Amino acid sequence: MRFDKFTLKVQEALQEAQSYAGSLGHQAIEPEHLLVCFLRQQDGIVSSIINKLSVSPRQIEQELVRFLEKQPRVEGSAGQVYLSGRLNKIFDKALTEAAQLKDEYVSAEHVSCRHQRGKGRRSGKNFA
């Protein structure tokens, strides 16, 4: 995947999600890790969008953190953290959407919108 096609905010959130997943003992970076990191970004667009929907970004973050903390952990391994299949699909669809819109870069809006449209999403209940 060409991460140079992603905005700086998406790249930063992905790096933070990788560290966050690793700190929880998770082998894969899931969409929920990334969404938590988007919500934690200073002046981030994702929190702004969620606020406009009259939903609390802080509450969503707390629910996601509780969910992630309950997920299985891998102990005693300094293995590589990788993108989950679900997150890979979201990125692929976000890249396609950006290309269709003739956007030069994939932004947090593309990624978060693709996440909310995805099937089997765990955090989507927060936006219902």
CATH T-level assignment (fold) for domain 3-120: Double Clp-N motif (1.10.1780)
Helices 45-52 and 57-69: angle between axes, nearest 10 degrees: 110
Q: Residue length, the chain?
A: 128
Give residue 78's pLDDT: 64
Give residue 125's pLDDT: 47
Give residue 80's pLDDT: 84
Give residue 14's pLDDT: 97
Q: Which amino acid is at 127?
A: F
Give residue 2's pLDDT: 83
What residue ranges of the chain have pLDDT lower than 70?
A: 77-78, 114-128
